[in-house]
Amino acid sequence: MAFKICHCKTIADDLVNDMYIRIMNKDNFNEAYIFKTLRGIYLDYLKDNKNIVSLTDFHYLKEDVTDTTNERFELLEILKDVSFFEREVLLQTHEKSLRKCEEDTGVSYQVFHYQKNKALKKLQKKYGSTKR
């Protein structure tokens, strides 16, 4: 019954375990009650995990290894023209927001903003426009 609801053996096992915990103290239940309980647990699971994406969800995408390797090599070559501190600021602010960088490091987001713009201007002066 759980597998018919979610179409995944792993999730179905979890649903059944959770369902047993919920109906453990119930004296009187029937098949319809079990189905409603399983469905409710699955809907809660979907709501809790709606923003989580698995890499297996994108199995149909093929990565062109040569393009990404060339891009990474080119970026590493460009980043050699800035100091270690500027490179770290650029990498951190590229991956996270300024506020998240502040939260993680204890350094003010204004410092990150200033140093990021300073490093980008340095690269722009050497290589021209940063837009591709």
pTM, to two decimals: 0.42
pLDDT above 90 covers what percent of the chain? 18
Among candidate residues 69, 49, 75, 58, the one with its CA nearest the CA of residue 132: 75
> How confident is the model at residue 132, as a pLDDT?
45
Instruction: Give the pLDDT of residue 70.
Output: 62
* The pLDDT of residue 19: 94
pLDDT at 63: 53
> Would you state the pLDDT for residue 38?
93
In sequence order, the 6+-apart residues with CB closer than 8 A to the CB of 82 are 90, 119, 122, 123
Question: Mean per-residue pLDDT for 59-87?
Answer: 66
Assess whether pLDDT exceeds 90 at residue 58.
no
pLDDT at 98 over 70: yes
pLDDT tens per residue across span 111-128: 889 988 888 888 888 877
Torsional sign, CA 47, 50, 54, 58: positive
SS3 letters for the chain?
A: CHHHHHCCHHHHHHHHHHHHHHHCCCCCCCHHHHHHHHHHHHHHHHHHCCCCCCHHHHCCCCCCHHHHHHHHHHHHHHHCCCCHHHHHHHHHHHHCCHHHHHHHHCCCHHHHHHHHHHHHHHHHHHHCCCCC
Instruction: Average the pLDDT over 64-90 and give the result.
Output: 71
CA distance 92 to 110: 14
Q: What is the pLDDT of residues 8-31, one digit of tens each?
A: 899 999 999 999 999 988 888 899
| Tokens encoding 46 | 């979907």
